[in-house]
Structure 1
Amino acid sequence: MSIAASLPIARAQRNLAPLCIAAASFLLLLVSGDSLLHDPDTLWQIKVGQWILDHRTVPWTDLYSLTRQGEVWLSTSWLSQVLFAIADAWGGWTGPVVLTAAAIALAMALLLAFLQRHLDLPYALVFCLLAMTLAAPHLLARPHVLALPVMVAWSGALMAAADRGRAPSFLLLPLMALWANLHGGFVLGLALTGAIGLEALWRAARTRRLALAMQWAAFGLGALAASCCTPYGIDTLLGAARILSLGKSFSVIAEWRPADFSTFSPFAGALLGLLGLALMRGLTLSPPRVLLILGTTWMALTHVRSIETFGVLVPLVLAQPLSGWIRPASEAPRGSRMAPGAPAALAAMAIVLATASATATFAAHHTFEFSTAQTPVAAVDVLAERKAARIFNSYGFGGYLIVRDIRPFVDGRSELYGEKFLMDYFAAEDGRDVSGLLRMLDENRIDATLLTVDSPAAQILDHIKGWKRLYADKIAVVHVRDDQDAAPSK
């Protein structure tokens, strides 16, 4: 009778660990909030969001660049941009920091909740810590971070359905619509639908495979339709395809470069740990799960920005197989389980209120600042004073020029500029094509340059007839044509 009476209580118990890790992650990111403001793309993302709010529509053509003005450009992250713009209007840089930290915290909470379906809390926490560590270099106030909890929820729900040998619920489709409006990475979700569906078919009995395949196919078509529920409709898919068609230019953009193993990194440690796990204990996975891990690993090896995807997907794929491989912990360590009903609700409320109070207190006494390395304020002031209108700039300065209402030669919207333009630009800016640099300056009637202090192009222009260095500081160097009136150099 005692056991029977305890069963409803056990079922009613709720684990507060996801809420705790969300609060801890949020507060940690809040304290180190300036680290989230190190990407120049954040600047133009907010600018585009403000434009969307002002005009009550989304852009279909480029509004900002010097070299691509009027050409087709779809803002596939329009909803994230609007959210960042609202957050910025609400609290300055505090707004984007809080918004970004909240999205990351929610993603970690969801990941832990999915992992706890199969793993005891200590093991689930290790995987969450690994995911956070791998994602850390790419945790920035940008749209892909706002889409991170959606990616975790979508991937976790699909894996849960596959673990049960079922098709996912159509109630998940609004998640895909949300993802498609937040960030162009939704195409990964579409690909995962097919890949994880294979795992469900592998686990199913032969007699059920045809019916299950039809259910997954119907869900996949529904996901494809949901991804088009954006202001751009089916053009959303075309916008995402343009990003994936940049070819060789991926190799010259930092976040799209292949992983570097010349020094030890958390990603290298994760790969070695995964290999050691397979070699020491002979963990056996189904072929579809092996393909999922191999595909995710290949993505991370090819582009460093995919390492965070590796950190999220690999634990989700391994959780169910590991549940029978790792000796289950006794019920005692699951001491984070709270009593059902009012005590659990009060504990959850206390955590939320304490986090909110700490956030308000810290934000009231701390001013978040954007990375000065990406904001050449003084150099742009000099250019504005001279009324320079056609500026050749370093890639990382494009976002700040857009904020200052100056049209950049190039900025972080790589899909707008295309593979050939980017390859030619980086060859010129890196000093690998001096004739190409001079040709770009002449053909585009450039009257000034704004380059980083270590830019090879800046050093070259110091020795090119017809150009002179006008201004330099620790962030940027300004060159102008010799036939312009000189201004005092600092």
Structure 2
Amino acid sequence: MTFEKTIPQDMPALGDEQVLMEQSRRIRLVICLSMVLIITAKLLFHSSELLRDPDNWWQVKVGLDILASRGIPVVDSYSHTFAGQPWIAKEWLGQVLLATAYKTFGWSGVVFITISAVGLMTFILAWYLSAALKPIVTIAVVMVITFFVSAVYNARPLIFSLPIIVLWTAMLFQAARDRQAPPFWLLGLITLWANLHGTFTFGFVIAAFAGLDFLARVRLSQPRLLAQWIAFGLLCPLVTLINPYGVKAILATFTVASGNEAVAYIGEWNPFNARTDGFIEVLLLTVIAALLVTRIRIRWTYAAFFIFTLHLFLAYSRFQYLWLLLVPIVLAADIAEQFPALSTRKWMGESRDALERAVTKHFHRITGVIVACCFAVAAIFLNFSTVAPSDNTSASGALSFAKTHGLSGNVLNGYNFGGTLIFHDIKTYIDGRTDQLFLNGFMNATVKMGTAAGKPILEKSIEEHAIKWALLEPDDETIPFFNELSGWRKAYEDKFAVIYVNDN
């Protein structure tokens, strides 16, 4: 091979291996930036989908209140049913970021910061995958992953954990694979993570699997490095105590898995269902079939990590993204070694095609254009977008009616309207903070209101909580009971919400 034809004129005279490495880095960087631009454009085009969750409202509101009060909540002040009960905003920093974006650019700012987090995740994912897998394979894998992970693309603090968990996993497993000490600067990253979102405890588990992989590789032959891995593992939970709530933030992350009664009623906490998640089932079966047919050899530590994340995938729909994001990162290097045709190393030794030569030659211009396009798209969106949360969760017409007609007192609201009520300073009956509140039989009773035997439960709740009006979705199963209750009448109705008031 003659390298003179492929070396850009502005590159210094380097050894052949260094030239190939530099070319590879330039092409990889352009690919990663291009993927970010594509994903950003796609998400901006469907920006309203990022505000489809009823929790978007209260996540922003909590952040706004923290900014206004310069303090963090320790008891509930947003509901009338559990007012004064212990409640912590364990994702306070993520909520502050969302609130800051809202104060600056409205809901367009919230969408943009959400997309920015996805873009950063995409870049990191593509960068680490492309270190092992050739460009065309990296592009295909990243496109598949970002498509199937899109269910968690939402304006909630979880979105800020995505780039962190990708970087955390990639760096730790790479250190184990290279038989090196874990990068201790990652302790700062998990400290940040602990203040952004409750999934930081998964960081402990990922570090444990990476440490186990390191131990399996070196056994006891390198006690000094092994001691560093043990120290890193012990420091992980300690540094995450650097948050406003201390150990409470860690304990709060386990409430969902400890018999939380709300889990059975919230879709994202339900187990994987092949009947409703057809696309995910196809992907899962395809991966399993590929593992069987290709007879790829997987280290037992990787297999254990695969099974752990697959367990989460099957047990809770919301954790499917962990398996989809992290397993490819862990397995990429081994796949590249066992199938050289897919590897970056083999690709580096091949002749560059016309496109690759153009990228390496005009690298600075191309990257400049891509970055400029990203900034231009962002500026246009932030200045001209009118994106807003879904009408299905906003109840804007109903709340306008309530304000105009002076409706006051305690409200009985549908679950999906809890967020918008909090945002508009109306205390809720129930809302999306079911990881800590609305438990001890409350959630079960609320669900039973919509059953055939629910009328007495509804009447009891109305009396116990001094309910003066109700804000419900048009298909709420308690509506027939409200039509039968003495003194109650339908005061408002549109395609998104219904209001009943108590004339007594």
Please say whether Structure 1 and Structure 2 have the same fold, judged by a TM-score greater than 0.5.
yes
Say if 1:434 and 1:318 are closer, same or farther in 2 by CA, change over 3 A. farther
The amino acid across from 1:33 in the alignment is S
Matched, 1:299 2:312: yes
* Match for residue 349 of structure 1 among 360, 364, 368: 368
* Match for residue 445 of structure 1 among 466, 471, 481: 466
Aligned residue number for residue 387 of structure 1? 407
Mapping of 1:222-241 within 5 angstroms? Answer: 222-241=235-254
If the length of structure 2 is used for normalisation, what is the TM-score? 0.90
The amino acid across from 2:215 in the alignment is L
Displacement of 1:445 in angstroms is: 1.1
Matched, 1:216 2:216: no
* Match for residue 424 of structure 1 among 445, 448, 462: 445
* Unpaired runs of at least 5, structure 1: 484-490
Q: Distance in 1 between matches of 2:106 and 2:485?
A: 42
Matched, 1:126 2:140: yes
Aligned residue number for residue 252 of structure 1? 265
Q: Which moved more, 1:413-422 or 1:334-343?
A: 334-343
CA contact (8 A) 1:166 1:212 kept: yes
Mapping of 1:132-151 within 5 angstroms? Answer: 132-151=146-165
Q: Distance in 1 between matches of 2:161 and 2:356?
A: 29
* Match for residue 8 of structure 1 among 18, 23, 33: 18
Aligned residue number for residue 377 of structure 1? 396
Matched, 1:399 2:411: no
Q: Distance in 2 between matches of 1:310 and 1:372?
A: 32
Q: Which moved more, 1:261-270 or 1:108-117?
A: 261-270
Q: Distance in 1 between matches of 2:262 and 2:468?
A: 26
The amino acid across from 1:128 in the alignment is V
CA contact (8 A) 1:163 1:320 kept: no
Runs of 4+ in 1 over 4 A off after TM superposition: 1-4, 332-343, 429-432
Displacement of 1:293 in angstroms is: 0.9
Q: Percent identity?
A: 29
The amino acid across from 1:449 in the alignment is A
Q: Secondary structure at the match of 1:474?
A: coil
The amino acid across from 2:17 in the alignment is L
Displacement of 1:130 in angstroms is: 2.1
The amino acid across from 1:382 in the alignment is F
Q: Secondary structure at the match of 1:414?
A: coil
For each residue in 1:184-217, what CA deviation from the matched residue of structure 2 results, as whole angstroms up to 9, or x when unmatched? Answer: 1111111111122212211225423x54443222
Displacement of 1:63 in angstroms is: 1.8
| Aligned CA-pair RMSD | 2.3
If the length of structure 1 is used for normalisation, what is the TM-score? 0.92
Q: Distance in 2 between matches of 1:214 and 1:199?
A: 14
Q: Distance in 1 between matches of 2:354 and 2:161?
A: 32
Q: Distance in 1 between matches of 2:375 and 2:426?
A: 39
Aligned residue number for residue 73 of structure 1? 87
CA contact (8 A) 1:58 1:75 kept: yes
Q: Distance in 2 between matches of 1:302 and 1:430?
A: 26
Displacement of 1:387 in angstroms is: 2.7
The amino acid across from 1:28 in the alignment is K
Matched, 1:318 2:331: yes
Q: Which moved more, 1:331-340 or 1:35-44?
A: 331-340
For each residue in 1:49-101, what CA deviation from the matched residue of structure 2 results, as whole angstroms up to 9, or x when unmatched? Answer: 11111111211111211111112111111111111111111111110111011
Displacement of 1:429 in angstroms is: 4.2
Matched, 1:54 2:68: yes
Aligned residue number for residue 39 of structure 1? 53
Matched, 1:464 2:478: no
Q: Distance in 2 between matches of 1:343 and 1:464?
A: 74
For each residue in 1:155-200, what CA deviation from the matched residue of structure 2 results, as whole angstroms up to 9, or x when unmatched? Answer: 1111211221333110111110111111011111111111222122
For each residue in 1:413-458, what CA deviation from the matched residue of structure 2 results, as whole angstroms up to 9, or x when unmatched? Answer: 1123154322222222456633222221211111111111111012
CA contact (8 A) 1:431 1:460 kept: no
Aligned residue number for residue 410 of structure 1? 430
Aligned residue number for residue 8 of structure 2? none
CA contact (8 A) 1:27 1:359 kept: no
Displacement of 1:369 in angstroms is: 2.2
CA contact (8 A) 1:251 1:258 kept: no
Say if 1:220 and 1:206 are closer, same or farther in 2 by CA, change over 3 A. closer
